[in-house]
Structures are given as structure tokens and as C-alpha cells.
Chains A and B, each alone.
Chain A
Amino acid sequence: MATINWGAIDSDPRFRELHTRKTRFLWGLMAFSVVYYFLLPIGAGYFTDLYKIKLWGPINVGLVFALSQFIVAWLIAYYYARRASQFDRMAEEIARDANVIGRRK
């Protein structure tokens, strides 16, 4: 392990690319998830009338919105899992060359 040049890997273009894509994707998704979640208590507290609008029989906006939180959380997980396999491939490639990167020159 001592032979690995961490600084060189960090500045390797493939790692930079992984870093940029992952950062943008993860924090974007995280921000979306947080905003979507906090709309629920905020809406329940300050836009109560909106929640009371009936959509389908007794089923109202509030109920649908709360249920949608589950669906959205699951979709985020599913979406992330699909994208993550891309990141995995990129990381694997870097890991495979870990002992070589920084020693070429």
C-alpha cells in the first residue's frame, strides 16, 4: 500500500472526472430530496387548505403528497443505484491502475 501515490491519483484526469460527476450528481440529488421532504411539514403547517383539496373521493392532496414522499425516496434510491454502477466502473479502472499512476513519468 505504501507504493500508492495518492496525490497523483487525486490529480489523475480520470479521478477528477469521477469526482466532478459524482459530486454534482450526489449533492444535486441530496438537495432535491431535502427540499422535497421539507415541503411536507411546511405545507401541512402553512398551506393547510391546499392539503384539504380532495382529489379522489376522500383522498386529498395531503395524503397523496405524503405517500409521494415514499415513492420519491424509493425513486431516488433506484435512480442512484443505476447511476452508481457507472461510478463503480470508473472507480474500478482507477483502482486497477492505482500502483501505476504517478510512476509513469
Chain B
Amino acid sequence: MSARRSNLFPPIALGAALLACAEPAFAQAVAPQWKFLTFGVFAAIIALTMYVTYLAAKRVKTTADFYAASGGVSGLQNGWAIAGDYLSAASFLGIAGLISLYGYDGFMYSVGWLVAYVTVLLIIAEPCRNIGKYTLGDILAFRNNPKTVKGFMAVSTITVSTFYLTAQMVGGGVLVKTLIGIDYEYSVIAVGVLMLGYVIFGGMVATTWVQIIKAILLVLASLVMVFMVWSQYGFAGPEYFQKVIGDAKIQARVAGLLGSAATNMTPQELGQRFLEPGLLYKNPIDQISLGMALVLGTAGMPHILMRFFTVPTAQQARISVIWAMAIIGGFYVLTLFLGTGAAMLVGARNIIAADPGGNMAAPLLAQYLGGGPDSMLGNLMLSFVAAVAFATIVAVVAGLVLAAASAMSHDIWVGIIRGEHATDAEEKRAARICTLIVGAMAITIGILARGQNVAHLVALAFAVAASANLPVVLFTLYWKRCNTGGVVAGLVIGTLTAIGLVLVSPNMTYPAALKAAQQKIIDANTPTIAKLTADLGAATDPAVQDKLKKDLTTAQNAKSAAETALAKIGPDNTSLVGLEKPLIELRNPGLISIPIGFLAVLLGSLLYRDRRAEEMWDELYVRSNTGIGRAAAAAH
């Protein structure tokens, strides 16, 4: 239970819930006789994105094309691309799954992901467009010591992107394995190689279009499914929720979640409980902490901010966020119906049987709506949803790799090693080489991290972005006294605090606790088995004997499963950092690390003297508000 509660990225929870059960046994999603459908749909989508990449590759001539599509993306296009960059498999599969299993809490969880864009819209997008060129480092370098801040910012960008990337690669590998049944390693390599193809050949132009295509497919698939769900209930409008609370599967699910607390509740009350908070989240402080990381972290995510360098003006940047908010928000509202629809039509029992984290809710719903596991249409729809999920992962990974690679090539190689002296051709080549390096790294980490608990890495990525990246960008843009000292202090302290808190949090694996839990199961079942065996010996009635035998098998299975799990845990008794139990109860570090990050920039700036930072303030502030002398990305 507790392992599930923490997952910010539910899809990877499947590969991750516990070390002991690294890759749960899935029901094979698509039956072998329908595999050809899956491959057909996948081939069609991959062919489409390849064709787009081919067209894009011809347009990528300069470095500005590669990093930022030369500012030639319109607000509307960028809005779709942001949605495509942002709506990861966690949104599509994870949130629908959470709603299908936990009702209201799953829906509440989705809200923060949209509200995050208010921060982006109001205080980040437009100044970034006016001040930045290709990377976050460019924004900071405007008034601070360029080499120093570019170096630290690049490290932070690569750190955040790698955390997110690892979660996506592991989640993607498990997902593809589940949905189309190819080996985990091949899935990871397929995701990585495809993504590298888009980015290396097509740069930001291809990445943008892959993200747009994916976002359109995702929204289309969701619309069709929600329409079909509603048609099952006669387009009842608000009455739909009457069907939700009256549904026997949902009532049974709630009763199962509540346990003994459900004994005095009527079926209607149980159904109603599904629409009330508290079935999943028990600790409000953690929810608030997570909310802070989302609302402030999104505005510090390098791959999201990078998208604003692709539009020509601050006005287009604004338009793109507004479109993104419409698409992302609309999508999450649809998810409410995907989740409740799956809860009624597929049922929590079947969803959990396919995957304990709930990630198969949307795919199974598609299969059901198309006519079930034995129908051609059902499997076609399942294949389509699977292909969309695959495209989702590839598109998100492409954005992340591009962000990390530009930090490496533009900030570190050109900015620091070459002292800003590199020809356009040199920098473009460096960018492609760095893409290859980051991509190879992503594939390697993806394979190495197989079965590891990486669920907390997405939360960590958002926490680092909110505790380090956002404070330094915000203060650089809005506070005259901010300087290099503050930026370095903020990036270092913000990042280390967020990572440090997660290392001592309940997110880590604590072998001692795991062992104790399994031992408890063994201890509880040992006397049961002894008693049942004795009873069985004494029983004479065949019906009683049958029942006892059944109970005995159940108890024996539970015990042996616990023993196997116990044996798998290994000899260590402490977590990665040598703890037997967590030092703090907080799963999401934001509540502590974000204020510390802001404080670090504040103090660092006050303690450090940097004349250039103050001299450049007027220019930065005027430029950021008026767009005068907008950077070269939009020059041609």
C-alpha cells in the first residue's frame, strides 16, 4: 500500500513497486493472433514520425535550427508541442489508472499538473523568450559570470533531465514489454534508437513535430474513448455520476479498500465514497509538498522552458502556454471519464490483475470498448492505445535528451571549453555528438535500472527543478541584487537538499523493513498452517475437508511467496545511505527544499559582490519586459 501511494509516476511503479517483485507477471495484453494489428499500428505511427523527421532534417541547417527550430514555431504549434512534451505516459496511463482504482484522489492528483502552467504563463514564459537563446544557462549568463553559471546550470539541467529520463526509459521499457510483449532490453533500445533518430537528424524541428503528432493522437484517442464510454451510459450528463456510484464493481472496490470500516455502509454509500477524498492519499502534508514541487518545478524544467526558445516572440510564447493549458487541462478532464469508465466497464479486479499500479486501465478500457479481448476491433483499439503510449514515451524522451544535450554542447563545450568561440558548423556537430552521448547514456541507464525502484525519480526531478532551477531563474529575472554568488549557492544547495532529503525519505528501499514485513507474513501463516493441518486430520466431512484443503493451500502459498521474497532481499539491512529506517516521513522533499533553495539564492547574492550583475540589471529588465533586441534565435 505505502509503496503504491508514493508513486508520482505510476507506470513505472509496475517495474518498481518493490525490489523483491521487480517485474510483475502481466497478463499478456494482446493475444498472439492479434499481434499483427499491434505491429501494423506501431509501424504506421513510426513511419509517420520518420517521414516528418525526414522532412525536418532537410530544414535543419544551422545551430539555431537544431536547438530552437530558429524560432519558427507558431504559438499554436508550440502549444501542442508543449502538451506533447509534458503529457507523459504517467498522465495517460498513470492518472487514468489512479482514478479507476481510487476515484477522487486520482483526479485531485491531476489538478497540480495543470495549475503548474499558471506559473509558467505568468512569470516565466515571456521573459525567457525575451532573454534566452537556446538554454537556461543563456538566461543566467546574461548578467552573471557566464562561464560559472553556465557550468552549474548545465550540470543541474543534465541532473534533472537524467532523473526524468531514467524514469521514462524504465517505465517505457516495462510498458512496451507489457503491451506488445518484446523483451525489456529491446524495448529500451527501441525507444532510445528511435528517439535518437528524431533528434540527431531533425533536431528541434523534428522533436517539435513528433511531440505535436503524439499530442494529437493522444487527445484523439482519449476523445474517442470518452465518447464510447458515454455512449454506454446513454450520454447521461451529470447523471453519469449516478451510474458511477451505483456500479457494483466500484462499490466492491471501495469495500475492499476500506476493509472493516465498510461493514456498516450501504452499497450507495460505498459508491459515493469513491467520489470522496482519502482512498489513496493519507498524508496531506505530502500532497502539499508534491503540489509545491509540481507548481514551481514545471516552470524550472529545462525541456519545458526550452520550448519557449522555438517561438519568435513573447506574444507567441504566451499564446503557446494558453493553448497548452487548454489541451492539457481538457485532457485531464477527459481522464476523469476514462478512469471512472474503466472502473465500471473493466473493473478494478481486472485492472489490478493486469498491473497492480493501475496502468493498464486505459488500454484495457480501449479493448473493452472495441468489443473485448476476443474481438478484432477491441484488439485494434488496444494496439492503437499502446502505440500512442509508445509515441508518448519517445516524444517525452526526445525533449529531455535535446535539453540535456544542448546544455552539454552549448553551455559546457561552446560556452566554457571553447570560450564562446565556435563556428556554427562546429557547434551543430557538437550538439549532435552530445545528443548521441546523452542518448547512449539514457539507453544504458534504462537497461541497468531494470527492475529498480525509480518511481521517486520523477518527483525528484520536479523537486530539484523547483528548488534549484526556478529560484535562480526567477531571481535573475526579477531581483536586481541577484548575482553569480546567489545563482551558484541556489543551484548547489537547492539540488543537494532535494536529493539529500529523498535519500533519507521513505522512497528508498529499506531492506530491514521489507524483511520484517515478509517475516510477519511467515510468522502469521506458520501457526495457521499447523492448525489447518491438524484440523484436516480430524475432519471427516468431505465438504469441510475441501474447504480446509483450500485454506491450507492459500496459507502455504502465502508463506512460500514470503519466503521467496525474503530470500531475494539480500544480506544488507540498510538502505543506500546506510539507514535502517527513514529519517523523515516526507516522501516529496519540496516543502523543505524549495524554501531552502530560494533562501540560498537570497543569501548567496547578499554575501557576494558582483558589479556586472547590477550593471546589467537595467538592460535585462528592460529587455525582458519589452523584447527589445530579442536574441538571435529569431533573427532569420
Tell whether, in the assembled complex, residue A10 and residue B288 are in contact, meaning their CB atoms are under 8 Å apart: no
Tell whether, in the assembled complex, residue B104 and residue A62 are in contact, meaning their CB atoms are under 8 Å apart: yes
Tell whether, in the assembled complex, residue B241 and residue A70 are in contact, meaning their CB atoms are under 8 Å apart: no
A10, A52, A77, A91: the one contacting B618 at CB < 8 Å is A10
- Measured CB to CB, the nearest residue on chain A to B103 is A63
Chain A contacts of B118 at CB under 8 A?
29-30, 33, 37, 73, 76-77
Tell whether, in the assembled complex, residue B123 and residue A30 are in contact, meaning their CB atoms are under 8 Å apart: yes
In the complex, number of A-B residue pairs with CB atoms less than 8 Å apart? 159
When A41-B288, A45-B287 are in contact, do A1 and B629 touch as well, CB less than 8 Å?
yes
- Measured CB to CB, the nearest residue on chain A to B323 is A77
CB of B248, distance to nearest CB on chain A (Å): 15
Once bound together, how far apart are the Cα atoms of A16 and B410, in whole Å? Answer: 35
How many of chain B's residues have a CB under 8 angstroms from any CB in A? 54
Chain B positions 102-148 with a Cβ under 8 Å from a chain A Cβ: 104-105, 107-108, 111-112, 114-115, 117-119, 121-123
Binds A, one of B60-68, B268-276, B398-406, B603-611: B268-276
Tell whether, in the assembled complex, residue A41 and residue B284 are in contact, meaning their CB atoms are under 8 Å apart: yes
Most chain B beta-carbon contacts within 10 A, residue among A15, A40, A78: A40
A26, A69, A77, A91: the one contacting B626 at CB < 8 Å is A91
A15, A29, A33, A62: the one contacting B277 at CB < 8 Å is A62
B245, B291, B627: the one contacting A41 at CB < 8 Å is B291
Say whether B31 faces chain A, with CB atoms less than 8 Å apart.
no
Chain A positions 49-99 with a Cβ under 8 Å from a chain B Cβ: 51-52, 54, 56-60, 62-63, 66-67, 69-70, 73-74, 76-78, 80-81, 84, 88, 91-92, 94-95, 98
Say whether B619 faces chain A, with CB atoms less than 8 Å apart.
yes
Chain A contacts of B542 at CB under 8 A?
none
Chain A positions 7-59 with a Cβ under 8 Å from a chain B Cβ: 7, 9-10, 15, 18-19, 22, 26-27, 29-30, 33-34, 37-38, 40-42, 44-46, 48, 51-52, 54, 56-59
Chain B contacts of A74 at CB under 8 A?
325-326, 329
When A44-B278, A45-B287, A48-B278 are in contact, do A70 and B329 touch as well, CB less than 8 Å?
yes
Once bound together, how far apart are the Cα atoms of A29 and B122, in whole Å? Answer: 8
B107, B121, B272: the one contacting A77 at CB < 8 Å is B121
Once bound together, how far apart are the Cα atoms of A22 and B126, in whole Å? Answer: 13
Once bound together, how far apart are the Cα atoms of A92 and B627, in whole Å? Answer: 9
Chain A contacts of B275 at CB under 8 A?
58-60, 62-63
Tell whether, in the assembled complex, residue A84 and residue B318 are in contact, meaning their CB atoms are under 8 Å apart: yes
Tell whether, in the assembled complex, residue A66 and residue B284 are in contact, meaning their CB atoms are under 8 Å apart: no
Tell whether, in the assembled complex, residue B288 and residue A42 are in contact, meaning their CB atoms are under 8 Å apart: yes
Once bound together, how far apart are the Cα atoms of A39 and B114, in whole Å? Answer: 15
Tell whether, in the assembled complex, residue A66 and residue B108 are in contact, meaning their CB atoms are under 8 Å apart: yes
B111, B318, B629: the one contacting A66 at CB < 8 Å is B111
Chain B contacts of A37 at CB under 8 A?
111-112, 115, 118, 291, 295
Among all A-B residue pairs, the 6 with the closest Cβ atoms: A45-B284, A44-B277, A6-B619, A41-B287, A10-B618, A6-B618
20 examples of A-B residue contacts, CB within 8 angstroms:
A6-B623, A9-B622, A10-B618, A10-B622, A15-B625, A33-B115, A42-B284, A45-B277, A45-B285, A57-B238, A59-B275, A69-B114, A70-B111, A70-B114, A73-B329, A74-B326, A77-B326, A88-B315, A94-B628, A95-B626
With A19-B621, A60-B275, A95-B626 known, 5 other A-B pairs at CB within 8 A are: A37-B295, A48-B278, A54-B272, A62-B108, A63-B104
